[in-house]
Structures are given as structure tokens and as C-alpha cells.
Amino acid sequence: MEMSHYDAESAVSPVVGVMLMLVATIIVAAVVSAFAGGLTASQDMTPQVNIQAEYSQSEGMTFYHNGGDTLTVGDFKIFLTPSKNLYSIESDAYVTEIDQKLISNGQSVMWYDFKGGRQVPRFAAGDIAIINVTNCNTETLTPSLMYDPPGPTGPSNYGINTTEAVGATFFLDFTTKDGKKIARVEVPITP
């Protein structure tokens, strides 16, 4: 039995149709993938920095930006969290946000002026930031560590500037304004 010319051509038609559908599917997948990749690339990435810090009860606190992304002053927060070796407290209950108006750069220029205007635009690799010893008191940096028991004895100070705190540590957490962690550093308390 002989195959007609019509039967041979009709067998090609389904193969061409399947190939066209496959090509269309690949093109749609490529377009969707490119669009989705563009969405993730446009989202802000959390900055990453290498921070070192020192705290001396007699000299104050110093932060060193040792590398990584430049942080815009005012676009991040700094939190002080006592470690569990500081009076054996539950550290998360005593977290304090550090007021950036207390911080100066290495040339004694305050990050913010007395009206709240920003004087230092960024904290970049190689920069240092300082909180002078006057501003490193318990009422300012760790107000939740002041305990006022009932009675005439007055408040008890469990802050980072007491002699009992020497040798203990606390954490400084640098976060974005929406709470994403930028850096965490453990800081020893020295006399």
C-alpha cells in the first residue's frame, strides 16, 4: 500500500505545532524570570559592616568602622543590650536604643547639632564614633538598669558604669530602621 503525499505532510504538522508551543513556553518563562530577577535586584540590600567597639568607664565608648558598607547617619539604629554575664540579668528585657545625638566623630563634631540637624552625613570605613564619658551614665545609656526599690535606700545602679560591671560585657546592635541586623559586637567593660 502506497502512502499518499497528503499523509506524509500531515505527520509533520503536529511536530511543528509541538515545537512552536515549546518555543512559546520557553520565551514566556524567560520573560517571567527576567522580570522576577529585576524585582529582587531593585530591593534594598541590608548593609553589612565590620564594627569594633571599646568601652572604658573612665574614658567613654568608641566605635570603629573597620570595613564594609557606608552607613548614612540617621538611617540606622544602635541598641545596647546587656549580656547575660552582666548581673545575670535577662538581657533582652533591658535593651536601650542609643540616642545618636550623643555621638561625635573623631574630630569632635557631634553627629547632630542641638536643634537635631545632622552634622555628620555618614559613618564609613575608617571612621570612628565616640560617646564621651559624661554621656555614658546609666540614666542615659541603660536607664532600665536603674532599680528604685521601695523604701529610703534610693535607686540602685546596675548599669555599665559601676565597679561591679568591670569584666562583664554588653552588645551593640546596629540595625536598619525596620529592624534588619547590620552588625553585632560584644563590648567588654573596662575601668
The larger pLDDT score, comparing residue 40 to residue 83, is at 83
32 lies in the same domain as 69: no
If asked whether residues 20 and 79 sit together in one domain, one would say: no
Sheet holding 181-190, edge to edge: 96-97, 76-82, 169-176, 181-190, 49-56, 60-68, 128-131, 103-105
C-alpha distance from residue 156 to each of 122, 134, 138, 139, 141 (Å) = 37, 19, 10, 11, 15
What global pTM score does this model have?
0.73
| 41 — pLDDT class (breaks 50, 70, 90) | low
Q: Rounded mean pLDDT of 46-50?
A: 93
pLDDT tens digits, 142-183? 777 766 565 566 667 778 888 888 999 999 999 999 999 999
184 and 125 assigned to the same domain: yes
Q: Are residues 23 and 6 in the same domain?
A: yes
> Do 19 and 101 lie in a common domain?
no
Domain shared by 57 and 12, yes or no: no
Location of C-alpha cell 555628620: 120
Domain extent, residue 116, equals 49-190
Residue 165: closest CA among 79, 53, 58: 58
How many domains is the chain built from? 2
Residue indicated by cell numbers 511536530: 15
In this model, does residue 131 exceed pLDDT 90?
Answer: yes
CATH of the domain at 89: 2.60.40
Residue 87 half-sphere exposure toward CB, CA atoms < 13 A = 20
One domain, residues 88 and 128? yes
* pLDDT tens-place string over residues 50-109: 999 999 999 999 999 999 999 999 999 999 988 888 876 666 778 889 999 999 998 999
Same domain, 17 and 102: no
